[in-house]
Structures are given as structure tokens and as C-alpha cells.
Amino acid sequence: MKLWRHHFVIGAFAVCIVALSVRVIALSVGERDFLQQQGDARSIRSESISAIRGSIYDRNGEPLAVSTPVYAVWTDPSRGSLTDAEIRLVAEELEFSVDWVRNKLAKDANKQFVYLKRGITWVQSQRIKALGIKSLSLGQEFRRYYPIAEAAAHVVGITDIDERGIEGVELAFQKHLVGRPGAKTVLKDRRGNTIRDLEYLQAAQNGKDLYLSIDARLQFIAYRELKSAVQSHKAKSASLIMADVVSGEILALVNQPSYNPNGTGRSAFEMRNRAVTDAFEPGSTVKPFTALAALQTGRYDPQTEIDTAPGFFRVGGKLIQDPVNRATLSLAQALQKSSQVALAKIALDLETDAVFNVLSATGVGDYVGTGLPGEAIGRLSAAELRYPVVQATLAYGYGLSVTPLQLSQAYLVLARGGSKVPLSILRREQPPAAEQIFSVQNAQSVVAMMELVTAREGTAFTAAIPDYRVAGKTGTARVVGEGGYDDERHLAWFAGMAPATDPQIVMVVMVNEASAGLSGGGSVAAPIFSRVAQRSLRLLGISPDAHSTAAPPAEMAGNSGVKIEVGG
């Protein structure tokens, strides 16, 4: 009986072996392709190989934006939930509350991929890994880091968490900076962990680096001085732009308030690149172009006299007046004293569109073309020039609006002796072709007259720099409120260049609504120019051109010339 049982078990076992063998052979021959496909579908995956975003450097190779490796923590809730103990450990390491992690996992329980946190450091990733929680996975990615932070925030901009540019140069040159991801196939286990790489399908192409025209040293100097001035004058906002006269490259562009691109909690008010996006009435900074329009006619020169007595006159229903009766002024003195009456009378004596044409030729009312996001064109219209009051007020900076960027472009033309090159935010290997739009002699005459503005008797003696001759012009414009111009709110401007004998830098400073007492361009904006330019000229190795700017050029100081009665 026992022997029968023994043979039965042996026989049954042999039948099973034969049946299994037949099945294995049948599957390997008849359904091999199907089974291979099913196996691969469960274990072989195609993965993306990250491409590194191009770095952004200043003109000297100093990094302004770089991509640094970070890690992301994620889980697949559909493959199992974390225990309470594991949730507490994860919450502690990721610096979240236990309730937040628990609610996050419960909310996304039906998903197969849930980020718990992105952008953690390598040290944090190693601590997460040491927890030994099998349902957690780590993946490497990149995050943008900005070495000089808020000092260059408005120029460089920022990216989102996926390293897509959303502001500044990061946005404007997104296609240049972004790389092309690669691809590979990998073998994974049932928990989704990579066992090995099987095949590289396409190599990743990193983004291209970008060199800006910005000089990080000058950018920091400008930022520090502008921030200090805004705080001391209790101003609403401010902007500063410095450009290289020879190449047209922007050496510094700063705004206040600013923000830290490496942090969080940024507001739209702080992120606004006002130097590029906001247009304001330029006030008396337009007067040098009115003087240029007069010189262009050939009927005026710096010594031509204008009768401003009794210190005011009326154009239609508009009363144009100076603070005091300055009687007779030369054109040079009218610019030095910033006489509204003199410049308005000159404008009325010129062709109707003379001042308009000069401003338009310099780029006012048009795009500068730097490529920075949100660039505004301001407002410059010839539609109402047939009205004498519009012609007169345009001569001293009302009835139009410009951005600090546009005003920088216009003053660059004066500094270059009447030739125009476009401003650039990118480093140039060689200066671009220039267009001569005004007479060299006339442009240089205007610059010489603008030196008087920074002399002791001028409206901007606070812009003077020891050992350098400075040419520039102040501007103080009233802010338009709900009921028209507000006499209590002002824009303070100073636009200038140095050294005046051979200009190398142009700078425009604008301070919006200083409220600590002083509000004029000469008392608020001009000192900022002086402090920034003094250090910048020495850092750039630009030689001094004078021992003092206190005395005006001799040929400009006198009242010689023919006295002309103009403009009624």
C-alpha cells in the first residue's frame, strides 16, 4: 500500500514537471514577444536628462545668475501610505507641520506622483535618504541663485521653480539661456527605484551663457547710493541708469524699492523695473534739447540774449514765470538758471515743431530696444503743437513723458557730439555704427552750456565732482494727481555726463516724491549723481580733466552777443 502511494506521488510530480515544461516552452515560443513587451512596460522607463540653464555674467565675467543643484522629495501615494511615525519624521526634516504633510498625502491619495518639497539642499536630501522610508523618492533638479541679490534684481530678473524666466533678462533671453533636455531608458524595480541605465537616447544640451553690459561694481555702488537716498528723503521710488558713452552699453541700472530674487514674498511694487516701464514728465531736463533746437537754426549761439523781464508772460490762458525777474539772460545763462520764461520764448520763436523734432530724433517717444520686458515708449505727440501753449510748455518738459531709459538715450546723443547709437543691456565686443543726427559743434556747445549748471551759480552745483568737469541738467516736475498738477508732490531729476571735456559716462537719476523736506532735482537727484559718478570714474580708470568745476568756462560766462527780443 505504501509502495503504491510512493509511485503515485512520483508520477504526479513527473506529470506536473512535464506540464510546466510544456507550458514554459509554449510561452517562450508562442508568446515570447507579448511577455517581453509586458515585462518591459512594467520595468523599463524613459527618463529626461536635465539640461543646465545658461549662466548670466556681468561684463567682466562676474556671475549674476547661476544654476545650482538641488533635490526634490516626492512620493507615490497609490503604492502605500506613510505611517504616523514616518509622517512625523518627514515633517520634521522638511520643516512642515505634521498636519500639513498628513493632509497633503490624504488629498492626493489617488495620485501616482506627489511633490512634498522641491529645492532642498544636498545635506537635507541625505537626511531624508537616511530615514529609510521606501515610499519616498529623491530627484535632482536645479535652482537659480543670484550672487549680488537685490542689487541687480531688476536687470537680471528671476525664474520660476522650473527655471523658466519670468522677469528681466531671464525672461527676455529665455530661448538663449534655456537648454534642451536629453533622454535615456532605465530599468526600475517594482518600487520605482532605478536599477541601471540601459541606453542613452539623446544627450542634453546645456543653455548658452549670457554676458551683460552691466558692471557689477558700478551696479552695487549705484544701488547702495540710491537706496540710501530714498531712505533719507523718504521717497516713494527712484531709478538710476549709467551708460558708456563710447559703446552705448548700460553699465548700471537700479531701482528702489528692490527685492531679493533668492527669497520669497516679493510684491509687484518691488519687482517693477521703473527705469524701463514707468514714464514721467521730465521737467527741465528737456531744456538742453530746446537750446539745441535753437542752435540748429543758426540764429542763436550761447551768447544770444533773451529778455525775460518782468519774470513772467502769458501764453493764452497759461502764465509762464520764473521764481524771480532775471531780466536779460544769455542762452547759456538761461540754461544755467533754468529759466522757464527764456526757454519758452525761444521755443515760440522757432518753427512750430523744432523742439519736437529734436526730441524725436534722439529717441524720445520711441522704443529704445534693449529687449527688457515691459519697455515703455512714453508720450511725445505733435498733434497739438499748433497751440502756442503746447509749444511753449514742451520747451521746459511738460506735455510729454519719458522713461529714465529714454532720457539716458537722449543724453547719450549729446555726450557723443550729436551722434546716436542704441543703448544695450548686452556686452558689445565693439561699438556699433553711429548715426550723426546733429551738428558736432552744436551738441558740444550744449554740453559746454550744461557745465554752467553744475557751477557754483548753477542749479546743480551739488552734482560737481572734485577734479572732474561735469555737465548736466536738473529737473523738478510736479506729479499729476486727481485734480491736476499737485504742488506738494514732485519728481526730482538730474541727467548728466562726465568728464565734460570728453564724456565717458552718462547718468540719469530720478527720485519720485521725496517727502522729507527737499524735493528739487538739484537738492535730491544731483547729489546722488555726484557720489555715484565720483567712485565710478575712478573705478573705470578715467583720468580727471579739471582741478575744479566751480568756475564756468570763460567763453560762456559773459553777456556779449546780440540782444534778441523773441516770443512776444
Over the stretch 130-153, which tens digit does the pLDDT of each residue have?
877 777 778 788 889 999 999 999
The secondary structure of 352-399 as a DSSP string is TTHHHHHHHHHTTTS------TT----B---TTTTSHHHHHHHTTT-S
Q: What is the 3-state secondary structure (H, E, C) of 76-96?
A: CHHHCCCCHHHHHHHHHHHCC
Tell me the angle at which helices 98-107 and 84-94 cross, rounded to the nearest 10 degrees.
110
506 pLDDT above the threshold of 90: yes
Least confident of 123-127, 219-223, 288-292, 530-534: 123-127
Residue 533: which H helix or E strand, with range? helix 526-539
Question: What positions carry a catalytic annotation?
Answer: 284
Q: With 60 as the cut, is the pLDDT of residue 534 above it?
A: yes
pLDDT digits (tens, 9 = 90+) for 441-496: 999 999 999 999 999 888 899 999 999 999 999 999 988 877 778 888 899 999 99
Q: At residue 34, does pLDDT exceed 70?
A: no
Instruction: Supply the pTM of this predicted model.
Output: 0.84
Judged against a pLDDT cut of 80, whether residue 65 lies above it is answered with yes
Q: Shortest CA distance to 124 belongs to which of 100, 90, 147, 87? A: 90
According to DSSP, residue 159 is labeled B
Min mean pLDDT across 128-132, 224-228, 399-403 is at 128-132
Residue 137 CA to residue 71 CA, distance in Å, equals 10
**Does the pLDDT value for residue 35 go beyond 60?**
no
Look at residue 285 and give its three-state secondary structure: helix
Sequence-distant (≥ 6) Cβ neighbours of residue 146 within 8 angstroms: 64, 65, 152, 153, 156, 158, 261, 262
Structural domains for the chain = 47-76+103-211 (3.90.1310.10), 216-259+272-426+437-560 (3.40.710.10)
Q: Are the C-beta atoms of residues 204 and 182 closer than 8 Å to each other?
A: yes
Task: Band the pLDDT of 550: cuts 50, 70, 90.
Answer: very low
Q: How confident is the model at residue 390 (pLDDT cuts 50, 70, 90)?
A: very high
Mean pLDDT (the chain, rounded): 85
8-state DSSP, 62: -
Mean pLDDT for the stretch of residues 386-410? 94
pLDDT at 558: 41
How high is the pLDDT of residue 163?
Answer: 86
Interval 159-203: pLDDT, tens: 988 889 999 999 999 999 997 776 766 666 555 566 665 556 667
The mean per-residue pLDDT over the stretch 117-130 comes to 81
CA pair distance 109, 80, nearest whole angstrom? 9
Count of beta carbons in the 10 Å neighbourhood of residue 432: 12
